[in-house]
Structure 1
Amino acid sequence: MSFPDLQSFIRLLEERGELLRVTVPVSRELEITEIADRLVKKGGPALLFENVKGSPFPLAIGLLGTRERVALSLGVSDLDELARRVRDLIDLSGAKGVGGMLSQLPKLRDAMHLPPRRVKRAASQEVVWRGDEVDLGKLPILKCWPLDGGPFVTLPLVITKDPETGERNMGMYRMQVIDRATTGMHWQRHKTGTRHLEKAKKLGKRLEVAVALGGDPALIYAATAPLPPIPGLDEFALAGFLRGQRYPVVRGVTVDLDVPANAEFILEGYVDPGEEWFMEGPFGDHTGFYTLPDLYPRFHVTAITMRRDPVYPATIVGRPPMEDAYLIEASERLFLPAAQLVLPELSDYHMPPAGVAHNLVVTSIKKRFPGEAYKTANGLFGLGQMMFAKVMVVLDDGVKVNDFETVWREVAKKAVPGRDTLTTRGPIDALDHSSRGWSYGGKLIIDATSKLPEETGSGLGSREGQNDGHTEAAEWLPAPAVPFADVVEGVLDTFQAGDGYWIIKIEKTRAFQSREVGEMLARHPAAAGIRHLLLVDELTDVQNRQDVWWTILNNIDPERDVWVLNERLVWDGTRKLAEEGFVRPWPPKITMSPDIQAKVDARWHLYGLPMRWC
């Protein structure tokens, strides 16, 4: 099933009971975020806010907020069908290694080479604002979180064209509203938009930009997909492949760019590479932490075009799980067969919500020889945006990579710290606040596969030389409870679940305090049966495994903050201080203001939403 536009998808969701309308007035500043955040975290329906204060336009949010809704939007029965569709295009049995991969790329390219179809008239241009009519304040653009620098467009499909080759690109980059006709453009150093802007600067030109809001939900997904560099394959082509027909586009009214003919709104304009950049942010980001202010280009809006009765689409990002987790899962399924062309031993992979995409990648392999886990992990590090992965866990074939508890039990059972862990370096997501340098830092590979004799022999111990002959643990028993809050400085709470992990909550008040605590407890008798000590901050729930790992994975540079001690792996997931050599500011975790939470509690009955979602 494909959808001619976003509103047809909204109607179908409503018919299926997957979308509810809120008719009372609501504020675009924080209130909508608090309502939507509660529903997405409980797997609730999408929302259509019909009366957003200060705007004549309704706002839809959470449209892709469950695995099932993403599958429906892409016309498949479940997300695994995406992998089956791609696998049907290529014969994996005859495509081993790089040579086999190259032989299959023409098939993949031909199947996905569906150039957009140009039309003369478009619903997205039924109404046109130019000049003084342009006013971004009339759109119900959200201020999502209390410390955000202002309102942000959160679901934009940003379209540019290579000034030299004419190659199209579409990406999803947040846009902070500066004034009625200007926004920031969050193009990070690795993004294609940045490359296009750099070329425009060399040519002494402005870079034309169009931003679509809405369209076929397949196109919204395509804008987030990490496409491989295959000639002829762009986001319009991917959307065409997913919907089974060429995507309709129309020429912009003030820019020489193709824009979606079925979008709700189009913002047209330019970025001047010679102009002074704007201090953008803070922004409550998909990591669950605020991205701190930084300089980014300005986008000048020359026209806004729209449908006669448009709906403004939005999303929110923040502490997981969020809507973006299901878009990430769709990309996992879609690109699994392509990864298997390069790495035929790869059985499956998953990026859990607690890892907010790149912080944690869990894989399983059909292991044939010693060291294959490291071979696979390093191979994945070399595949497109997988280069940003921070922690890579490799499991045996047959282990469910999306069963979070099982994954970490396998790690505790089969990965001896030091012997079966390897630290390296490479590119890191520019939004990572804990890395040793901006967009550059440490990486950790954990080999949790069953070991072959060559992988357990003499000389393969930990950095302390204490793991020779270490046997795998069959089961783990909880250690006795000890009131560490009374005897160890800064320890607020601890928890041992009985599976090899000890979680310690610390109120950090001075440099190197967490390292001292880790070293003390790693040698403590209560650490019997423990393989991993997880040190977290005072805002973490030690009994919530998802919250613990979300904090740890965000707050470590593995080369600096993960070390082997007394046959245990210590993970320092506390904030890092300037006195410890960390020169960048440490951002706060995202939390909603208590007054907004209380306001939403008090008004919930007015929204007309069931109490189970409150």
Structure 2
Amino acid sequence: MNEIAGQAGQSAAQRLDFDRFRLRRFMEDMNEAGEVKIVDARTDLADVAAIVSANTQAVWFKNVGPEGHELAASVAGGRARLAKAFGVPERQLLAELMRRLEAKQPVVEVARAEAPCQQVVVTGDDIDVTSLPVHLQHGLDGAPYISSAIDFSIDPKSGWTNVGLRRLMLRSETETGVDLNAPSDLRVIYMEAAAAGKPVPIAYVIGSHPVDMIAATMSIPTDELSLMASLRDAPLPVVKCITNDIRVPADAEYVIEGWLDPHGYVEPEGPYGEYMGYYGGVKKNPVFHITAITHRSDALFQTISISGKHLARTDTSQLENLRTELNVWRALKMTVREPLAVYAPVAAAGAQNVRVQLRQRVPGEARSAIMAVLGACGVKNMFVVDPDIDIFNDEEMEWALGTRFQPAKDLIVVDNVRMSPLDPSLDGSRTGSKAGYDLTWPFGKGGMDTIIPAAPSYQGKTFPSIAAALKDGPKYFEELMAAVASRDGREIVRELAAMKAGRDAQGRWTAGE
């Protein structure tokens, strides 16, 4: 069970920084970095989705709806933003995530009076979730959705806090729908409770630092408050909810408390634009009953971007991307000697396709990597390349696919395996196919046709003459220019012709007869 530290004689305010990981502070930092579009004008909730979808930056609405709420959108909708949240360059993001997963940080419980997320408490007849700035995100959605809710629940078997990320569809002032169809720890907890006729206490946090959102996407067998503290690389302040015993981050913007109805999957929820870029239809799902809403006095609400053609701009693809890369890296480390880099392109929802760069040490390692990842992860298509290909560069990846791949021998297809049910290409099936693309050179292959041309650098030994250079051994033309410090080259052509110089099998010039 997670060990939650007490205050040891000091107040939480003295020991903990309640602003460092709050959403408002992150948005201020991103604004200074040029990653935020600020909308000062009063904005109708009906206009929010169009403004967000038209922007590649995060968007900060200062005056939304008749209540004049502040609303942050697409906070995690770019890899640069996630990298800044972790304080590292983009290409070091995965390495930093893995480092933090190994670091332990305490979870510190604070008094309610010290918890910013409970500066304002709304209970009883005053509860009205429809007064929050919740907007219609896609044209055919079943209702306005809270898309950024991080859920906190307790597994009664272990006592651990389970953390996830899911959507809430507005139903009334005190009820929402909640999607619990996808496999998850919360689904297991709920189904066991519902079978016994018991409600599931739960709390949803809205307005979170990207590090917390990444923690919510992870599925690691541990108390996930500790996981959140590890990813913050700092102590996590938590506070007990007002109407249940669940502990949530004390520095959150909003918390919605309540319980999941034990009557089961009985109410229609959806349609909704799903993370793969298409609609999910109407599903039967449980109902969430609200018992309290608490928030900071200057709270900043949050919505995340999801679905549509431009998935690379969405929060969901960026968050899926990092989780996929972590899972793939773990599978690779168990299988091959020297994986070098992993990238899951966000344009494919951050989870369907993955690129792997590795250095083969023995024959067959590329195929071993493919089999391990396709078996262990939810990846649909995997591309493996040699160290000379930059997996973050689409141009280089297309070149490798076009010039190092023979479908008859380099394509691995695995059929009748479990796939994401949200993949529309399954056409309703519960199983499908996965493919591995071996874009590496055959192990040990060399020769001129594997050398990548580049502009001459004119590096090499110097000699008093071309004849002296050739006497030293065969030379490429570039080496001959370097040998006599030629800045032209045509005079060397004339001299080689006069010498009747020869060529070897590699095309190098020789002294001839």
In the superposition, the TM-score normalised over structure 2's length comes to 0.76
1:195-215: CA deviation from partner (whole Å, max 9, x where unpaired): 111221344321111000124
Q: How many residues align?
A: 425
**Equivalent-residue separation in structure 2 for 1:406 and 1:198 (angstroms):** 47
Q: Does 1:214 align with 2:207?
A: yes
- For residue 199 of structure 1, the aligned residue among 180, 189, 192 is 192
Q: Which amino acid aligns with 2:77?
A: G
1:10 to partner: Cα distance: 2.2
Map of 2:288 onto structure 1? 299
Unaligned runs of 5+ in 1: 90-107, 455-471, 476-614
Map of 1:309 onto structure 2? 298
Q: Does 1:116 align with 2:111?
A: no
Map of 2:42 onto structure 1? 25
Map of 1:185 onto structure 2? 178
Map of 1:575 onto structure 2? none
1:249 to partner: Cα distance: 0.6
Q: Does 1:150 align with 2:143?
A: yes
Map of 2:359 onto structure 1? 366
Map of 2:132 onto structure 1? 139
Q: Does 1:64 align with 2:80?
A: no
Give yes or no for contact 2:324–2:350 (8 Å, CA) kept in 1: no
Give yes or no for contact 1:367–1:397 (8 Å, CA) kept in 2: no
**Equivalent-residue separation in structure 2 for 1:186 and 1:276 (angstroms):** 10
**Equivalent-residue separation in structure 2 for 1:88 and 1:134 (angstroms):** 42
1:19 to partner: Cα distance: 2.9
**Equivalent-residue separation in structure 1 for 2:42 and 2:99 (angstroms):** 49
- For residue 450 of structure 1, the aligned residue among 441, 444, 447 is 441
SS at match of 1:402: coil
SS at match of 2:77: coil
The range that moved more, 126-135 or 136-145, is 126-135
Unaligned runs of 5+ in 2: 1-16, 453-513
Q: Does 1:47 align with 2:66?
A: no
Q: Which amino acid aligns with 2:192?
A: K
Q: Which amino acid aligns with 2:373?
A: L
**Equivalent-residue separation in structure 2 for 1:421 and 1:208 (angstroms):** 48
SS at match of 1:262: coil
Map of 1:588 onto structure 2? none
Q: Does 1:406 align with 2:396?
A: yes
Map of 2:432 onto structure 1? 441
**Equivalent-residue separation in structure 2 for 1:314 and 1:254 (angstroms):** 25
1:218 to partner: Cα distance: 1.9
Judged with a 3 Å threshold, the aligned counterparts in structure 2 of structure 1 residues 322 and 379 are, in CA distance, closer, same or farther, namely: same
1:27 to partner: Cα distance: 2.2
- Superposition map of 1:514-529 within 5 A: none
**Equivalent-residue separation in structure 2 for 1:261 and 1:81 (angstroms):** 29
SS at match of 2:409: coil
Q: What is the alpha-carbon root mean square deviation over aligned residues?
A: 2.7
Give yes or no for contact 1:214–1:313 (8 Å, CA) kept in 2: yes
SS at match of 2:426: coil
Q: Which amino acid aligns with 1:371?
A: G
Give yes or no for contact 1:237–1:246 (8 Å, CA) kept in 2: no
- Superposition map of 1:408-557 within 5 A: 408-425=398-415, 426-435=417-426, 437-452=428-443
**Bigger CA radius of gyration:** 2
1:276 to partner: Cα distance: 4.7
Judged with a 3 Å threshold, the aligned counterparts in structure 2 of structure 1 residues 393 and 19 are, in CA distance, closer, same or farther, namely: closer
**Equivalent-residue separation in structure 1 for 2:290 and 2:389 (angstroms):** 50
Map of 1:8 onto structure 2? 25
Judged with a 3 Å threshold, the aligned counterparts in structure 2 of structure 1 residues 51 and 86 are, in CA distance, closer, same or farther, namely: closer
Give yes or no for contact 1:282–1:291 (8 Å, CA) kept in 2: yes
1:433-455: CA deviation from partner (whole Å, max 9, x where unpaired): 2215454211112222112499x
Q: Which amino acid aligns with 1:67?
A: R
**Equivalent-residue separation in structure 1 for 2:420 and 2:395 (angstroms):** 26
1:409 to partner: Cα distance: 2.2
**Equivalent-residue separation in structure 2 for 1:274 and 1:85 (angstroms):** 43
**Equivalent-residue separation in structure 1 for 2:246 and 2:314 (angstroms):** 29
Give yes or no for contact 1:410–1:448 (8 Å, CA) kept in 2: yes
**Equivalent-residue separation in structure 2 for 1:417 and 1:202 (angstroms):** 50
Q: Which amino acid aligns with 1:294?
A: K
1:38 to partner: Cα distance: 1.6
1:307 to partner: Cα distance: 1.3
1:298-342: CA deviation from partner (whole Å, max 9, x where unpaired): 111111111112110111112222232433444466667644532
Q: Which amino acid aligns with 1:32?
A: V
1:399 to partner: Cα distance: 1.4
The range that moved more, 270-279 or 129-138, is 270-279
Map of 2:53 onto structure 1? 37
- Superposition map of 1:242-321 within 5 A: 242-318=231-307, 319=309, 320-321=311-312
Judged with a 3 Å threshold, the aligned counterparts in structure 2 of structure 1 residues 27 and 86 are, in CA distance, closer, same or farther, namely: closer
